[in-house]
Amino acid sequence: MQESRSFCIFDYFLDGVFLKWEEVEGNCPLLVPGEDRVVNLEDGTKITAKVVEIEGISENEKRVYLSSGTSRKPKHLWEH
């Protein structure tokens, strides 16, 4: 008999720019718009930002849109 493992994937975007994706095993945390969320980046940096919107992509995957709280226009990775 195979063990059932639950997981979810979060795709994080900060001010419109893709930050990272994260796989969470077990119960998926409930994210609520308006709350602060800490995202750990690959280099060890921690970013705290406000959850603006959560978009369901599939049963196990969600896009999490975060805001840094700045009023500046987001600079996308492809802009120089």
Under the banding of pLDDT at 50, 70 and 90, the label for residue 5 is low
Q: Nearest-5° angle of CA 51, CA 53, CA 61? A: 100
Phi, psi (degrees; rounded to nearest 5) at 38 = -95, 125
Instruction: Work out whether strand 7-14 and strand 46-56 pair parallel, antiparallel, or are unpaired.
Output: unpaired
Distances (CA, A) of 50 to 6, 66, 76: 26, 5, 19
**Per-residue confidence (pLDDT) for residue 9, from 0 to 100:** 96
pTM, entire model: 0.77
pLDDT in tens, 16-66: 999 999 999 988 888 999 999 999 999 999 999 999 999 999 989 999 999
Q: Are 42 and 20 in contact (CB under 8 A)?
A: yes
Under the banding of pLDDT at 50, 70 and 90, the label for residue 80 is very low
